[in-house]
A and B are shown apart, each in its own frame.
Chain A
Amino acid sequence: KAGVTQTPRYLIKTRGQQVTLSCSPISGHRSVSWYQQTPGQGLQFLFEYFSETQRNKGNFPGRFSGRQFSNSRSEMNVSTLELGDSALYLCASSPDRVNEQFFGPGTRLTVL
């Protein structure tokens, strides 16, 4: 089975712009979670989707949003980018709520 894929792998944007990141989960996995990883804050949970519904949400401002499609692929969007949004964004998929999460390689976002 192919693993979790994330596109793009690297992205450079300027302040005020918006960005969309994509995640394709492992085939058959219905749960997709997103995390932000920075040296100062570590791994922080953004949100989780299951069968196109957002089930859990972390403590991030409304500029961060996401969605999941019927094929379980997920996108997250960040609007009005700030310098502090520079981070590695990780996507993880799971077949259900019980089992472990499988992580993609991440998208490295740099905001200038």
Chain B
Amino acid sequence: AQSVTQLGSHVSVSEGALVLLRCNYSSSVPPYLFWYVQYPNQGLQLLLKYTSAATLVKGINGFEAEFKKSETSFHLTKPSAHMSDAAEYFCAVSDPSGTYKYIFGTGTRLKVLA
């Protein structure tokens, strides 16, 4: 069965500092992996996705993530945090060989300090 673990329900960084949000997955087959962002009172917006092509994936707003099969990880990074990055971030996994059901992590709320 697939699962997603996001370490750290809350992360605080200073403006301009590196953002690192952690995501580990469990899947019996090579999965599809996604990062979504949710701003208050809004739906989820796709940041980036991994679908078995390049392992380093670049997304919107300067975010990127690296798929590491050996570590079963898909951590999200951004070199320099901006105040507008404050939001909740969700990692999700989908099994492309089976049900394609999305499994979301519990989310990480990012706070950016001035």
Q: Is A68 an interface residue (CB 8 A)?
A: no
Residue of A nearest to B101 (CB): A56
Q: Among the listed B32, B49, B96, B101, which residue makes an inter-chain contact with A45, where contact means beta carbons less than 8 Å apart?
A: B101
Q: Tell me how many residues of B have a C-beta within 8 Å of chain A.
A: 22
Q: CB distance B103 to A103 under 8 Å?
A: no
Q: Which residues of the partner chain B approach A108 to less than 8 Å between Cβ atoms? A: 41
**How many A-B residue contacts, CB cutoff 8 Å?**
48
Could you give, for residues 49-61 of chain B, a 1 whenever the CB lies within 8 Å of some chain A CB and a 0 otherwise? 1010000000000
Q: Which residues of the partner chain A approach B99 to less than 8 Å between Cβ atoms? A: 55-56
Could you give, for residues 59-102 of chain A, a 1 whenever the CB lies within 8 Å of some chain B CB and a 0 otherwise? 00000000000000000000000000000001010000110111
Q: CB distance B102 to A98 under 8 Å?
A: no
Question: A42-B107, A43-B90 known; A100 and B46 CB under 8 Å?
Answer: yes
Q: Which residues of the partner chain B approach A102 to less than 8 Å between Cβ atoms? A: 46
Q: Is A4 an interface residue (CB 8 A)?
A: yes
Report the bound CA distance from A106 to B45 in whole Å: 12
Q: Is A25 an interface residue (CB 8 A)?
A: no
Question: A90-B44, A103-B45 known; A48 and B34 CB under 8 Å?
Answer: no
Q: CB distance A45 to B102 under 8 Å?
A: yes
Closest 5 pairs between A and B when the two form their complex, measured CB to CB: A103-B43, A97-B100, A43-B104, A103-B44, A42-B106
Residues of A whose CB lies within 8 Å of any CB of B are 4, 33, 35, 42-43, 45, 48, 55-56, 90, 92, 97-98, 100-106, 108
